[in-house]
Amino acid sequence: MAEPLLRVDNLVRRFGGIIATDHVCLDVSKGEIHAIIGPNGAGKTTLISQLTGHLAPHAGRIFLGGRDISSFPAYKRSALGLARSFQITSLLTDFTAADNAALAAQAHDGRHSFRFFANARKEKPLRDAARAALERVGLGHRADVLVSKLSHGEQRELELAVALATKPQLLLLDEPMAGLGVTESQRMVKLLAELRNEVSIVLVEHDMEAVFALADRISVLVYGRIIASGKPDEIRQNEEVKRAYLGDQHVVVGHG
């Protein structure tokens, strides 16, 4: 079998006495949408942050395309094609939407940014790349609006556009639907479905309808441990998963 795009090997992260990531193993193949679900506090964001390099694991290793990236800082992982969206929207709020995406493109166009004189907003390739990414998520008409003036839904879409502008191999999406209305959520699901052929996705999400509509495989994280991993149908039938979710407000839906 070919080496998976992302392989996580026995990752451990503690916070004091709490094990937030408990020997997690995970692999994501090329072209796959791999969803990670679990109740609140299961350690999903902690896991994502270790994958992106914002948080150092205490043990275990992370491989991207067969390469051990466990000790790489966030920017290097980004250079290798790892992109993330944040659960709590994290954008450059005093910049326009286009600037946000253009900076992402600037970090990845192969030229360094120790350029002090030429006006970067007039670099056409960067602006074009930004516009393409914005149009991809349906924000083309809002390009010149300050992020702080965008609606919450638009900011969620921009999160995705910024990630796409880095031309990633693997997208780590931390609750892209968080706080979205019904129609906005549907738009996001449709968008992610379209992206399926271009990029592999790790999807952390509470919206079970979205997860079961999109995911090729699902891993269930509870108290930092992966208790089940498999195709959506297998997860739906899994007794342990049902038990873990019992009493929690997020009930696994019967049909996707």
Partner 1 sequence: MKSQLNVSSVVAALVVAGLVLLPVYSNLTGNIFILTLFTRIVILALSAVSLNLIMGYGGMMSFGHAAYLGIGGYAVGILAQEGIGSGWAQFAVAIAVSALYALVIGALSLRTRGVYFIMITLAFAQMAYYVASGLARYGGDDGLTVYKRSDFGGPINLGNRVQFYYLCLFCLLAVVALVWRIVNSRFGLVLQGLRSNEQRMQAIGFPSKRYKLACFVIAGMLCGLSGALLANNTDFVSPAVMYWTRSGDLMVMVILGGMGTLMGPVVGSVVFLVLEEVLSQLTEYWALIMGPLLLLIVLFGRGGIMGMLGRLNRG
The contact set with partner 1 (CB under 8 A) reads 52-54, 73-76, 78-79, 83-84, 86, 90-95, 99, 102-104, 106-108, 113-121, 123, 162-163, 165-166
Nearer to partner 1, 104 or 220 (CB): 104
Q: How far is the CB of 138 from partner 1 (least distance, A)?
A: 20
Rounded to 10 degrees, what is the CA torsion of 134, 78, 1, 231?
-50
SS3 221: strand
Q: Is 137 helix (H, G, I), strand (E, B) or coil?
A: coil
Nearest distance, CB of residue 213 and partner 1, angstroms: 27
CB of 248 to partner 1, least distance (A): 30
Nearer to partner 1, 146 or 191 (CB): 146
Nearer to partner 1, 92 or 145 (CB): 92
Asked if 176 and 203 count as a contact pair (C-beta separation under 8 A), the reply is yes
- On whether the CB atoms of residues 24 and 229 are closer than 8 A, the answer is no
Q: How far is the CB of 118 from partner 1 (least distance, A)?
A: 6
Q: Do 207 and 177 meet the contact criterion of CB atoms below 8 Å apart?
A: yes
Closest CB to partner 1 among 49 and 219? 49
Q: Residue 12: CB partners within 8 Å, gap ≥ 6? A: 19, 21, 22, 23, 24, 57, 58, 59, 60
Residue pointed to by tokens 């990414």: 133
Closer residue to partner 1, CB minimum distance, 36 or 163: 163
Residue 216 CB, nearest approach to partner 1 (Å): 25
